[in-house]
């Protein structure tokens, strides 16, 4: 394998190129991806929306998004003459035309919220939803976060139907071999999770009828008969040789047997007395069969015993064959049952997201889907690629390899998630498939001494096989890493502290004790100091500098308990996360009830901690009225989004008031978590443009992910700012600690109690089976793969350290073959790696921090139970509602299109949602035929008798779109069909802080009482102004706000004249809306463009498009307003505290 050195500034970005980058720990992987994205924007002119990035966790998504946003802003600042530090960004900007760069970066800044950074599940979900027809998905499929209940139901059905009807004699044999409901479930769940049952053949059709049971039982009986015969032969042999055996014990051996004198002594002592009790004699011979004297005196008897052993093994094998056949039959039947259940009930799991997309791309010719994905994404980055599996690689390879700019980035040395289906064999396959393979070996995380110590540790001798791949062609190798260097170092006295120490102890208790003493010494010993060589500043070691990495949680608990003896605060990095909290589960129940108003769903919502009803209260309720109330919340959700709806829900059910009154079980935490969750849902809904069902699916996905996959929303319940961090090695991946303690790296191959183990076979398929039933060659594969993963765990643990690392090893004989031993045996110690012992540390001292630590609880800044005037506000909340006076319903003329928009096209929220959805997703510059897919998808959720004749209805919608997009926009004289899609930002979300103000003062902003404020706002309020702009776009150098309105103003085109539109704007209080939108956009552009933005010059104005009245080539149905600086200044002075 030829590795090229990776240079982020010169690596080729040719269309169709495929690349794999092996990025060692701490080498700046995220930084490099962000730089490449900037190069693609400027050098290749690829819009930000057309660059796809897929990574492993939500936290990694957030980190990558933030880094890209920063680099684009920095490049824009530098382009405008500002100062930045990053030389690479300067070089990228300097090498291109400055005006062109400015234009490209302006567009990127405007569309920053369109960055396509996903986890694998969210990417698959979005692709399946967006291309539902091409992937063969049902629009209404429900995504379930947990299919345990379905699996358990199918297991029970299988047990009742098949196990209880097995003939009794066969059932006795199966039960004696370990058959149970629990073991069926264990093998089934392994199989369903991707660890295929080793003995299952997917090409076979398994049956367990009477004939098959008899066949399997006959094989067991035949083996039992052979065993019975061998036992009889053994008994006969012993009976016929009793005198001979007695003589042998006295030293009279037949030829050619030979023995030592001591052998006869042992035989007389332990064996002779039992010669006349045949069963006892055989038992003693078996018990002592490993002794030399038995082997020397009774070799012929041992041969007979071996024949019995072979027969016993044959019986056990035949029983296992039957048992494994039963398990295979169960896997077949239960899997089919689960599949049928999900199909019949239109359900889908998270694993289905990946398998369905993989199937759509790879199991049937789907060139159209490939081309759609390639058209959408011109460049693709797959981060943490070492943690992928065969299905995921199949998706990216089929969709993008050879047809996009493709980068796989990962570090095979950090592939430690085999139990979560990460497949190193797939990594090797990809490495062989791509055109270019690069390495990144400059470390930016650790000091030079730490890097050199790691190089020396992992290479104890030249050519050392670090990751235990032997002579395998596909292998992981350790490449020496260079350090970029750090100005700060950890010093002990006047010298830099030795980067790595190794401590040898005899037992686990001593290791735990010395770990605590080592931490205590670091904290109390003033000789340890962090020193910045540039500034000369220094500080002591703090608890937050230290990380303790363990394999299992119980080991972490033991360390934490030991640290507590010395008063050292420690926190275990557990998975107490907001998306795992009870409040997340209860909020999900509420949202499901609102989205699907069945009585059971609504009742479950009423029982949640937020509403806190009991069964007796629910029984007294009028079901129809309650369900109707939940339906109104659904309509509000569709119109205004999840946050506005939930604010209304919170008000309706007095959740906030109940919290203030202490009526909830844990009021502060309940309400705090609720607001955290709503903030998260609000941002997700707006950025990913999700409808209610999709948002619930997203929440379920993130609630159900494996514990180690989500670390963005960890709740800081303990005082972890100033505490030693204790984490498992798996959860520490991607993190760093100034000082690492690694107390338990003597990792062994797990063989205790004959476990069910998993391994990759020669073809890369993941298999599972009881260890003792695997053939010797498969057991060897398991041993080798376990050793390789244990070596990788050691690599991950030690490369978390920035300045210093403490390694511990045990002399216990059980660890003689541990994964750590080759690195520490016969090691020569020097200034980089030294021995260390805690014997010189005073165990009677305690840690006394320099200042008292306060408990920290993470809360959203915008919510305090004690502050009742603080509110999240919006235009719709502030505006007074108009008195509704229905218009006469009549229609002049016979025009089909007029009849459609004024009569057939329904009124109300559903029609507004339909039209908004279509206009958000289509390309304005395209024609009707190219909109068909979007229409099909949006009409799927438009339940109306008016849509019965789909073809005619969709053709009329196309006519409506053509009328709207080719209408004349007044003042600036252009059409929406001329606007570039890349310059459009739909549903622009905004929120900005608002100081205390009196809402009634908003009436004074515009003349003629055009703004009306709701009567419920009689006192001052403050908080956060939030909302969404339907469409924010740039055209010919100016920026515009546009709002779609499906309002029915009357049955004639004349009802949508300029005069009538002005009345409608006032009646609906839209003047307040566009003023708030204009202020939000001003803040947005100032934050993105900085000094380069001038409101009067660059802001084009506001358009409100009343869709029913718009006609091609005219300005009918279009309201336009160019907000003046003076008008906006009044609003800004009243409700704004600056950008």
Which residue carries 């057991």 as its tokens? 779
| pLDDT single digits (tens) 869-885 | 444 555 555 554 444 33
Mean pLDDT of 899-907: 87
Which residue carries 């401590």 as its tokens? 503
Which pLDDT score is estimated for 1019? Answer: 58
For residue 1072, give both structure tokens: 């307040």
User: Among 312-321, 700-709, 1115-1124, whose mean pLDDT is lowest?
Assistant: 700-709
Quickly state the pLDDT bin for 661 (edges 50, 70, 90).
low
**How far apart are the C-alpha atoms of 329 and 206, rounded to whole Å?**
5
Closest CA to 1003 of 994, 1013, 988, 993: 1013
| pLDDT single digits (tens) 1055-1100 | 999 999 998 888 888 988 999 999 999 988 988 887 778 899 999 9
Which range of 109-118, 326-335, 527-536, 697-706 scores highest in mean pLDDT? It is 326-335
For residue 555, give both structure tokens: 């080991």
Which pLDDT score is estimated for 1014? Answer: 55
User: Among 191-205, 716-730, 796-810, whose mean pLDDT is lowest?
Assistant: 716-730
Which pLDDT score is estimated for 875? Answer: 52
**How far apart are the C-alpha atoms of 112 and 37, rounded to whole Å?**
12
698 CB burial (10 A radius; 0-12, 13-18, 19+): buried
Residue 627 contacts residue 597 (beta carbons within 8 Å) = yes
Which pLDDT score is estimated for 720? Answer: 40
| pLDDT single digits (tens) 130-139 | 888 888 876 6
- 353 CB-side CA count, 13 A: 22
Q: Answer yes or no: is pLDDT of 1041 > 80.
A: yes
| pLDDT single digits (tens) 76-98 | 999 988 999 999 999 999 999 99
Q: Which stretch of DSSP H or E encloses residue 1043?
A: strand 1038-1045
Which pLDDT score is estimated for 732? Answer: 86
Instruction: Mark 315-327 as b/e (b = at least 16 C-beta within 10 Å).
Output: bbebbbbbbbbbb
Q: Answer yes or no: is pLDDT of 754 > 70.
A: no
Closest CA to 60 of 342, 384, 426, 326: 384
Strands 379-382 and 4-5 come out as: unpaired
Strands 500-505 and 442-443 come out as: unpaired
Mean pLDDT of 576-591: 81
Q: Answer yes or no: is pLDDT of 13 > 50.
A: yes
Residue 953 contacts residue 1101 (beta carbons within 8 Å) = no
Mean pLDDT of 1048-1053: 90
Altogether, the residues listed in the chain come to a count of 1139
In the chain, % of residues over pLDDT 70: 89
| pLDDT single digits (tens) 174-206 | 999 999 999 999 999 999 988 899 999 999 999
For residue 807, give both structure tokens: 């390694």
**How far apart are the C-alpha atoms of 236 and 594, rounded to whole Å?**
80
Which pLDDT score is estimated for 1113? Answer: 93
DSSP 463: T
Q: Answer yes or no: is pLDDT of 710 > 70.
A: no
- What are the residues whose beta carbons fall under 8 Å from the beta carbon of 801, sequence distance 6 or more? 446, 450, 499, 736, 737, 738, 739, 740
Cβ neighbours of 919 (radius 10 Å): 23
Domains of the chain (ranges, CATH numbers): 4-139+351-440 (3.40.50.300), 151-343 (no CATH), 482-576+716-835 (3.40.50.300), 578-709 (1.10.486.10), 870-1135 (3.90.320.10)
Q: Answer yes or no: is pLDDT of 480 > 70.
A: yes
Cα angle: 699, vertex 701, 706; to 5 degrees:
125
Quickly state the pLDDT bin for 712 (edges 50, 70, 90).
very low
Which pLDDT score is estimated for 74? Answer: 94
Residue 55 contacts residue 64 (beta carbons within 8 Å) = yes
Residue 1118 contacts residue 1110 (beta carbons within 8 Å) = yes
Which pLDDT score is estimated for 660? Answer: 61
Which pLDDT score is estimated for 628? Answer: 86
For residue 344, give both structure tokens: 């019949």
Query: At how many degrees (to 10) do helices 210-240 and 168-176 cross?
Result: 60
For residue 54, give both structure tokens: 């897929």
CA distances in angstroms from 870 to 645, 647, 995, 1018, listed in the order given: 18, 13, 9, 14
CA distances in angstroms from 36 to 18, 405, 438, 829, listed in the order given: 14, 11, 14, 42
- Which alpha helices (DSSP H) does 288-298 contain, by range? 292-297
Find out whether the peptide bond into 256 is cis, omega within 30 degrees of 0: yes
For residue 96, give both structure tokens: 């291109």
Give the gyration radius of the chain's Cα atoms: 36
- What are the residues whose beta carbons fall under 8 Å from the beta carbon of 367, sequence distance 6 or more? none
Q: Answer yes or no: is pLDDT of 264 > 80.
A: yes
Which residue carries 């159209």 as its tokens? 368
- Mean pLDDT rounded to a whole number for the chain: 86
Which pLDDT score is estimated for 715? Answer: 36
**How far apart are the C-alpha atoms of 525 and 739, rounded to whole Å?**
15
Mean pLDDT of 1024-1042: 91
Residue 365 contacts residue 397 (beta carbons within 8 Å) = no
938 CB burial (10 A radius; 0-12, 13-18, 19+): buried
Q: Answer yes or no: is pLDDT of 419 > 70.
A: no
Mean pLDDT of 587-606: 90
- What are the residues whose beta carbons fall under 8 Å from the beta carbon of 954, sequence distance 6 or more? 932, 935, 936, 939
Quickly state the pLDDT bin for 579 (edges 50, 70, 90).
confident
Q: Higher confidence at residue 577 or residue 235?
A: 235
């Amino acid at each position: 394998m030829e590795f090229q050195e990776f240079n982020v500034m010169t690596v080729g970005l040719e269309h169709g190129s495929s690349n794999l980058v092996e990025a060692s720990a701490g080498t700046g992987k995220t930084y490099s991806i962000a730089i490449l994205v900037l190069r693609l924007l400027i050098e290749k002119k690829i819009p930000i929306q057309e660059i796809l990035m897929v990574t492993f966790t939500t936290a990694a998504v957030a980190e990558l998004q933030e880094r890209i946003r920063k680099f684009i802003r920095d490049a824009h600042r530098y382009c405008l003459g500002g100062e930045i530090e990053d030389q690479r960004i300067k070089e990228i900007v300097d090498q291109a035309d400055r005006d062109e760069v400015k234009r490209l970066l302006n567009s990127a800044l405007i569309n920053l919220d369109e960055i396509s950074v996903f986890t694998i599940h969210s990417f698959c979900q979005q692709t399946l939803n967006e291309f539902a027809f091409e992937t063969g998905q049902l629009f209404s499929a429900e995504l379930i976060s947990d299919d345990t209940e379905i699996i358990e139901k199918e297991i029970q059905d299988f047990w009742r139907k098949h196990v209880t009807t097995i003939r009794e004699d066969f059932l006795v044999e199966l039960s004696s071999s370990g058959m149970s409901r629990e073991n069926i479930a264990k093998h089934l769940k392994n199989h369903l999770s991707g660890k295929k049952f080793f003995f299952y053949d997917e090409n076979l059709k398994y049956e367990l009828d009477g004939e098959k049971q008899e066949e399997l039982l006959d094989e067991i009986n035949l083996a039992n008969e052979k065993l019975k015969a061998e036992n009889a032969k053994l008994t006969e042999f012993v009976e016929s040789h009793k005198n001979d055996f007695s003589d042998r014990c006295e030293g009279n051996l037949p030829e050619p047997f030979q023995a030592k004198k001591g052998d006869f002594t042992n035989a007389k002592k332990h064996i002779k007395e039992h010669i006349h009790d045949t069963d006892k004699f055989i038992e003693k011979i078996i018990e002592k069969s490993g002794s030399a004297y038995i082997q020397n005196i009774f070799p012929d008897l041992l041969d007979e015993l071996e024949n019995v052993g072979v027969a016993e093994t044959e019986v056990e094998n035949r029983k296992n064959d039957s048992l494994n056949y039963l398990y295979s039959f169960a896997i077949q039947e239960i899997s089919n049952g689960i599949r049928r259940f999900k199909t019949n009930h239109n359900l889908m799991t998270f694993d289905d997201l990946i398998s369905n997309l993989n199937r759509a791309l790879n199991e049937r010719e789907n060139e159209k889907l490939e081309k759609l994905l390639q058209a959408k994404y011109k460049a693709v980055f797959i981060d943490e690629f070492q943690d992928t599996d065969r299905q995921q690689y199949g998706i990216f390879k089929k969709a993008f390899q050879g047809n996009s700019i493709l980068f796989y980035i990962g570090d095979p040395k950090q592939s430690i998630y085999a139990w979560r289906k990460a497949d190193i064999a797939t990594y090797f396959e990809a490495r062989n498939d791509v055109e270019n393979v690069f390495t990144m070996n400059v470390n930016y995380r650790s000091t030079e001494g730490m890097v050199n110590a790691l190089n020396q540790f992992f290479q104890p001798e030249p050519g050392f096989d670090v990751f235990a791949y032997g002579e395998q062609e596909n292998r992981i190798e350790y490449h020496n890493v260079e350090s970029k260097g750090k100005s700060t170092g950890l010093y002990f006295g006047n010298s830099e502290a030795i980067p790595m120490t190794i401590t040898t102890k005899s037992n686990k208790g001593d290791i735990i004790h010395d770990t605590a003493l080592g931490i205590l010494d670091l904290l109390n010993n003033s000789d340890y100091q962090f020193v910045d060589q540039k500034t000369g500043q220094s500080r002591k070691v703090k608890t937050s500098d230290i990380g303790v990495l363990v394999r299992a949680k119980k080991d972490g608990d033991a360390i934490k308990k030991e640290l507590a003896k010395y008063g050292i605060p420690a926190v275990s990095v557990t998975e107490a996360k907001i998306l795992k909290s009870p409040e997340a589960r209860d909020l999900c129940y509420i949202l499901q009830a609102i989205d699907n108003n069945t009585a059971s769903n609504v009742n479950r919502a009423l029982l949640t901690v937020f509403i806190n009803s009991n069964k007796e209260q629910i029984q007294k309720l009028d079901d129809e009225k309650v369900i109707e109330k939940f339906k109104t919340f659904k309509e509000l959700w569709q119109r205004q989004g999840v946050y506005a709806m939930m604010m209304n829900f919170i008000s309706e059910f007095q959740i906030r008031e109940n919290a203030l009154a202490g009526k909830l079980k844990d009021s502060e935490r309940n309400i705090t978590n609720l607001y955290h969750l709503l903030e998260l849902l609000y941002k997700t809904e707006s950025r990913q443009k999700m409808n209610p069902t999709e948002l619930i699916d997203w929440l379920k996905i993130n609630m159900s992910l494996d514990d180690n996959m989500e670390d963005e929303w960890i709740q800081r319940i303990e005082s972890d700012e100033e505490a030693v961090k204790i984490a498992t090695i798996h959860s520490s991946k991607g993190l760093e600690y100034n000082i690492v303690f690694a107390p338990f790296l003597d990792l062994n191959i797990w063989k205790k109690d004959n476990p069910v183990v998993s391994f990759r076979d020669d073809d890369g398929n993941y298999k599972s089976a009881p260890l003792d039933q695997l053939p010797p060659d498969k057991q060897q594969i398991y041993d080798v793969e376990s050793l390789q993963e244990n070596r990788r765990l050691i690599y991950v643990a030690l490369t978390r350290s920035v300045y210093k690392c403490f390694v511990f090893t045990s002399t216990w004989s059980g660890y003689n073959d541990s994964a750590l031993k080759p690195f520490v045996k016969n090691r020569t110690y020097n200034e980089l790696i030294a021995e260390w012992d805690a014997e010189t540390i005073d165990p009677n001292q305690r840690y006394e921090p320099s200042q008292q630590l306060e408990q920290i609880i993470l809360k959203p800044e915008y919510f305090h139970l004690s502050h009742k005037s603080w509110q999240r506000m919006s235009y719709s909340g502030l505006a007074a509602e108009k008195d509704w006076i229905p218009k006469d319903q009549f229609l002049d003329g016979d025009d089909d299109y007029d009849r459609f928009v004024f009569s057939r096209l329904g009124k109300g929220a559903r029609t507004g949602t339909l039209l908004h959805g279509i206009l958000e997703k289509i390309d304005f510059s395209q024609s009707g035929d190219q909109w068909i897919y979007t229409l099909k998808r949006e009409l799927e959720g438009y339940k109306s008798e008016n849509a019965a004749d789909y073809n005619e209805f969709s053709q009329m919608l196309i006519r409506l779109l053509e009328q709207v997009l080719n209408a004349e926009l007044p003042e600036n004289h252009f059409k929406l069909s001329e606007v570039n899609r890349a310059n459009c930002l739909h549903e622009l979300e905004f929120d900005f802080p608002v100081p205390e103000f009196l809402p009634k003062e908003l009436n004074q902003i515009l003349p003629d009482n055009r703004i009306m404020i709701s009567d419920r706002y009689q006192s001052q309020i403050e908080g956060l102004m939030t909302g969404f702009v339907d469409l924010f776009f740039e055209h010919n150098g100016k920026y515009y706000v546009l709002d779609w309105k499906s309002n029915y103003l009357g049955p004639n085109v004349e009802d949508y004249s300029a005069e009538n539109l002005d009345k409608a704007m006032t009646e609906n209080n839209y003047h307040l809306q566009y003023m708030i939108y204009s202020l939000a956009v001003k803040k947005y552009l100032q934050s993105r463009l900085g000094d380069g933005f001038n409101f009067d010059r660059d802001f084009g104005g506001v358009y409100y498009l009343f869709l029913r009245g718009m006609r091609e080539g005219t300005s009918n149905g279009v309201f336009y307003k160019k907000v003046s600086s003076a008008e906006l200044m009044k609003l800004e002075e009243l409700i704004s505290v600056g950008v």
